[in-house]
Amino acid sequence: MANKREIAPGHRRRTALLTRKVAFADPLRSHLRLSDDGTRIAWLQNEDGMLSVMVADALDPASARRLTGGPVRPVSPALFWAADERHVVVFRDHAGDENYQAFSIDVDAGAEVTLTPGGGTRTLFNRSSRRVPSDILFSVNDRDPESFDLVRVNVATGQRITVFQNPDFSRLHADADFKVCFGERVRQDGSIEVLKRQGDGGWVPFLDIPPEDSLTTHIDGLSADGDVVFLLDSRNRDRTALVAIDARTAVLTVLATDSEADIAEVVYDPDTGWPLAAAAVAARRRWHPIDEKFAADLARQLQDAAGLDLVIVGVSAGRRRMLIRLEASDAPAQLRIFDRAKRRTLQLFPERDDLEGMPLRAMLPVAIRSRDGLTLPAYVTVPAGRARRRPLVVVVHGGPYDRDAWGFSPLHQWLASRGYAVLSINFRGSTGFGKAFTNAADREWGGRMQDDLDDGVAWAVKEGIADPDRVGLLGASYGGYAALMAAARSPDLYNCFIDICGPSDLLSFIAKIPPYWHNWFAMILRRLADPATVEGRKWLQERSPLVHVEQMVRPMLIAQGLRDVRVNPAESRNVALALLRRNVPVTLITFPDEGHFLLGQRNRIALMAVVEQFLAYHLGGSREMLGDDLEASSLTIEIGGEWLGPLF
């Protein structure tokens, strides 16, 4: 095997560097939300790495004031308004354990009230309603870790009652009166049955979702009276459509389709619950109006967007006001409010104002042909200057049933400012491009999904974008798994690998899934394999990076949160120790106060400081000195890291 040349750290700066503390800080403002009556806005504001809740009059952002609810840890969903228009709700977990607890904050008095149990309980928002403005419906698993009961909570007092004790449904849907109407249950073959609740409390079959549609078909909303179900539906078609199904007659009406991509976003009327418009995201976002009166407002906003991607964040009661986010790939998002009565749009503020003068580059959508004939939607960001064949970093998204999309990417911008070309590939299994593309990943973990990444590198080399002797691969979660598998499968193609919280042992990964995933276990087994069978265990072992450590010879950086509830931290340690025993250059860094998603700002900056030095050492890009970026975090270097010494 030919040795790929190691590159000494780069020292020349052809352009100003986008600093880590700017690129990976939480945005100054995020999760902007419009109250139901449209009179106020609330958002999370970054203050030295902690997030505080801010509130202002919708048409007067200068009236912003900080609520006394205190800082909140960044989780998702992070912030929403209660229908009483006086309370906002935030969620917190404990150091990344994903057991979210809900709290309300009175925007007038500043009082904070605990809404749902803590102590290892996971809470998910189910719905709110203008018909019951004082209460919110949550899904809570305090009774049984595997099942989420529906709990109705008074947003002002925290008083709660269980309105539905869940026997075994994976999802529950309620109408605007908080009456449970539909339940979804996953069968052993991975298909989903949707049942309708009768007036006497009994259940009857309503919909059947075949296994091949289980990732691309689901109930997206109900009309306020519960008489119509709005379904994102891929049955009998490839690309998901938005359809309306009469709950009494089962008559189906198609409301929106797109020729290139799945319908992925729907904006609903807050009063009736009916769809106003729907969007599909192929290379870029494309809107399809549904309501005739709303179509004129949408057309005006699209015209004003001037080539940016339009996101409708919220619509107020009576459609009086609309909160809009305009996305660019080389600038922070802009936030606006459209006032329908006054026929004017107010510019609020950018999400962040710390990018002025920074060297930002456009993200370009591209299409890559896989070796077996699939079209792989991808995005590339190229550094400034005329030089060809730059060092390339392939960034692999997690999920894997997720996707990369066009827009502002701190990671792309940060790497490009250091002289790297950056490539993000929607490999097979990525969502949004039709069910055939998603289902093409079944039993292809570590197989053709990896081929797609390698084919992307070959494309970048052929196009003159990438230097074939300077290629790295970086990924988190499934992307981390892909980095480990690439290290074993394609050591001649890449110089180095970065794995962030990626599973290395699929048997261990399946055994450790959180209890609240168990309702979806049949779908997981369909996409991978069943460890209860001899054939399934053999397949899972073969597709586990840990059993292929002997083929790994390139430098590896592994990062792991020690409170990860999805990937056992032992999986990262086992790979690192196995590489260490074989004298393969490996560094393992851990974060004792993080889970699967490294959410703390200081920890995130510290992680990227190490990533930057690692890439500079092995690919030769420009770098920013470490400074004090490690000192402010909980980062611990457990194994390796000797190469960091001369870079301080």
Catalytic residues: 477, 564, 596
Edge-to-edge strand ranges of the sheet holding 334-339: 309-315, 321-327, 334-339, 344-350
Q: Specify whether the CB–CB gap between 225 and 272 falls below 8 A.
A: no
What is 241-273 written as a DSSP string? EEEEEETTT--EEEEE--SSS-EEEEEE-TTT-
Burial of 460 per CB tally in 10 Å (0-12, 13-18, 19+): buried
Beta bridge partners of 39: none
What is 461-503 written as a DSSP string? HHTT-EEEEEEEEEEETHHHHHHHHHHHH-TTT-SEEEEES--
DSSP state of 423: E
* CA torsion through residues 244, 274, 42, 299, sign: positive
Q: Is 119 strand, coil or helix?
A: coil
H-only helix segments in 266-385: 292-305
Residue in this structure with the two tokens 């892909």, named with its chain if needed: 482
Q: Which amino acid is at 159?
A: Q
Count Cβ atoms below 10 Å from residue 359 Cβ, excluding itself: 16
User: How far is the C-alpha of 504 from the C-alpha of 588, rounded, in Å?
Assistant: 14
Q: Is 514 strand, coil or helix?
A: coil
Burial of 333 per CB tally in 10 Å (0-12, 13-18, 19+): buried
User: How far is the C-alpha of 319 from the C-alpha of 270, rounded, in Å?
Assistant: 8
Please state the separation of Cα 12 from the chain's center in Å: 35
- Sequence-separated (6 or more) residues with CB below 8 Å from residue 542: 446
* CA torsion through residues 483, 488, 489, 492, sign: positive
DSSP state of 548: G
SS3 sequence of 523-547: HHHHHCCCCCCHHHHHHHHHCCHHH
Q: Specify whether the CB–CB gap between 106 and 126 falls below 8 A.
A: no
User: How far is the C-alpha of 393 from the C-alpha of 513, rounded, in Å?
Assistant: 30
